[in-house]
A and B are shown apart, each in its own frame.
Chain A
Amino acid sequence: MHLMYFTEQPMSAYPEQEGRDFGATALMFSNRYFDPVAGSQLYNEYLEHYRLAEEVGFDGIMLNEHHNAPFCMQAKCNVFASILAAMTKRVKLVLLGNPLPLADNPVRLAEELAMIDMISRGRLVSGFVRGGGQEQLAAGVNPAYNRERFEEAHALIVKAWTQTGPFRWEGTHYQHRVVNPWAVPLQKPHPRVWIPGVLSKETIVWAAKQRYPYIALSTEIEATKKIWELYDQVAKETGYAGGPEYRGYLQRCHVAETEEKALANARQFMWMQGEFTGLAHPVWSSPSGYFSPSYRTAFVEYAVGRRSNPRGAAFEDQIRNQQIVAGTPKTVIPKLRRLLEETRPSIVGFWASDGFVSTEDTKTCIRLLGQEVLPALRDIGKELGLWSPFEANAPTSINFSEPARLKDPSR
């Protein structure tokens, strides 16, 4: 198993009522409410948590980024990855990930990632995402070409990593006279790419066709099973067998010394799910052209307030269906066993706390996970044969599947 620590890096230090009054805590919610003194303090606390996560035995640190929103302070995951590349020694740095469509120069991303891979001595896992709907607006990037830009930027980055330059790139959305980055990754053929997602079938199909592990972001167990059904079916059509090494899951999981405390802190997971921050604006979160055409009816109705967010569910429901797991190590282990038995992932991210959970409680949670929960999960993983891509020595991608390269990685 590959067990990772994750935090959204919440920016809890802002006047809560202002967000409620404005009605949305994203995109247009004014950054006059951002407090850089608190920001500086929080960034450094998060670094401390990452260091502790490595110390107590996590295999990886999962990083992400968001823009114009207090639920996530990390505006550039490559910045934290760079710091952690030098600060940590053992953990994988799992970026889930860089929002490719937001990049106007993917070659620069390829360079940054290559540098992180070399500085960390080959510990980079470079996930890619489409970015949220409102992030297209925050970056001024056309939502109607989101998926096209994602796919083209990905092809360009992989080519920059794996084929010697100089070469020229004349694409639909990117044109580069000379691609010849001096920095290339340490890992060969290139750093592993994992693809996180929550809603779009298109992304699952794309990841399976690339033979990239897909990381389901806190979906409920039944929905997660459907994801793996689809993934495995596409894998079979593509010519390989899906399985645990292609399956990841991000679990909201808070552990404390007592049930009561764990549950109270877990309630803070709702913090970014709209209880007071993460108040999504229905139009900004789903700009036209961004979402899958198969969801058009649902999203236009959501945009004018005729149905609730197709992504949301209540706290009690999420505790019941295990989208949120909370308790003492003793009580969460059986719940996590159920997750592993029913959905068979080999990669599990622990989203350990959120919102106003104190730094002390977060550190306790990280310690208890490391000392008591992770060893138990490793045993269960062995028992169930949940071998991670590293343990299974899974190929990096469909284009680098042993024994021979199947086709040009730029295609």
Chain B
Amino acid sequence: MTPSPVAWRAESLPVAGIALHLAAAGRGAPVLVLHHDIGRPEPSPFDDALAGRCSVLAPSHPGYDRSSRPDWMRSVRDVAVVYQWLLGERDLARDLTVVGLGFGGWIAAEMATMAPRAFKRLVLVGAMGLKPERGEIADQALVSYIDYVRRGFADQRAFDRLFGAEPATAQLEQWDLNREMTFRIAWKPYMYNPTLPHLLGGVATPALIVWGRDDRIVPLECAERYQKALPHARLEIVENAGHFVDMEQPDVLAQLVARFVAEA
């Protein structure tokens, strides 16, 4: 991995008793990027690409990567409320775009249902949160850290470039800590909220749904379900990408997001 070409500023914010880690870079329209269940890679090629076009805020979810673990936290909606709290504190909501990657997409969707007009644009990328009708969301509890992450890539060479063919033990430990936190808040039902589809109809925020053509973690049918459930949504499918679109096609995704931000 080469070091990030972008200068990221880091700070720790107290929210709900959590030391919430926030990385920031770039200038222009503000974009909050919510990372995957496996955490945020450092450097993150997508965040770097987006920071060339927008002002990017990239927090670590409570209990993930660099943020402290709130022992009390029990649901993905709790995470969504923590981020709404953060937006309120920072007075960020008005012109904000929220980009949710995979598990972060579920958090973003929950945020949108809580405050249907609170931020300006919503981008869901391979988002969890809805129960597939035909397929299943891949269960990470049954596979190793490496196998799970590899499953999210269409091209294994992209995994190798980002994490190395044999990721270091420190990386495995971080994946384990993040997985433990995912279990703490999303164990059952696994990776979806049965009430979410009933609440998405109230979301006034325009939404862009992005899915990797070869997503083997969250089936493509969930993209269609999100598109149907959200009143103002359109779908873009990215070729040569699995679940981790941001890691396999960072520039394509950054361009899609930047164009969407410029639209409205």
Q: Pick the interface stretch among B14-22, B98-106, B180-188.
A: B180-188
Q: DSSP majority for the B interface?
A: helix
Among A83-91, A259-267, A299-307, the stretch in contact with B? A299-307
Asked if A38 is at the interface (CB within 8 A of a chain B CB), the reply is no
Q: Is the CB of B188 within 8 A of A142?
A: yes
Contacts of B95 in A (CB 8 A): none
Question: Which residues of A from 296 to 349 have beta carbons under 8 Å from B?
Answer: 296-297, 299-301, 303-304, 306
* Pair A304/B146 contact, Cβ less than 8 Å: yes
Q: If A283-B144, A303-B144 touch, does A142 touch B187 (CB 8 Å cutoff)?
A: yes
Complex interface: chain B residues within 8 A of A283 (CB): 141-144
A304 proximity list for chain B (CB < 8 A): 144-146, 172
Minimum distance in angstroms from A281 CB to a CB of chain B: 9
Could you say which interface size class chain A belongs to? 20 to 34
B173, CB-defined interface residue at 8 Å: yes
Taken together as a complex, chains A and B put the C-alpha atoms of A144 and B176 apart, in Å, by 11
- Tell me whether A137 and B145 are in contact (CB under 8 A): no
* CB contact between B187 and one of A28, A144, A282, A297 (< 8 Å): that residue: A144
- Contact segment of A47-55, A222-230, A242-250, A284-292: A284-292
Given known A137-B141, A144-B184, A283-B143, contact A288–B179 (CB-CB < 8 A): yes
**Are B173 and A144 within 8 A (Cβ)?**
no
CB neighbours (8 Å) of B187 from chain A are 142, 144
Q: Is the CB of A288 within 8 A of B176?
A: yes
B145 touches A303 (CB 8 A): yes
Q: Does A127 contact B (CB under 8 A)?
A: no
Do A296 and B179 touch across chains, with their CB atoms under 8 A apart? no
Known: A300-B173, A300-B176. A289 touches B184 (CB 8 A): yes
Residues of A within 8 A of B183 (CB): 142-144, 287-289
Report the bound CA distance from A28 to B142 in whole Å: 9
Nearest CB on B from A300, distance (A): 4
CB distance from B148 to the nearest CB of A (A): 9
Q: List 7 A-B contacts (CB under 8 A).
A: A283-B144, A287-B141, A289-B180, A296-B173, A299-B176, A300-B173, A304-B145
Name A residues whose Cβ lies closer than 8 Å to a Cβ of B: 28, 137, 140, 142-145, 282-284, 287-289, 296-297, 299-301, 303-304, 306
Known: A296-B176, A304-B144, A304-B146. 11 other contacts (CB 8 A): A140-B188, A144-B183, A287-B183, A288-B180, A288-B183, A289-B179, A296-B173, A297-B169, A297-B173, A300-B172, A303-B176
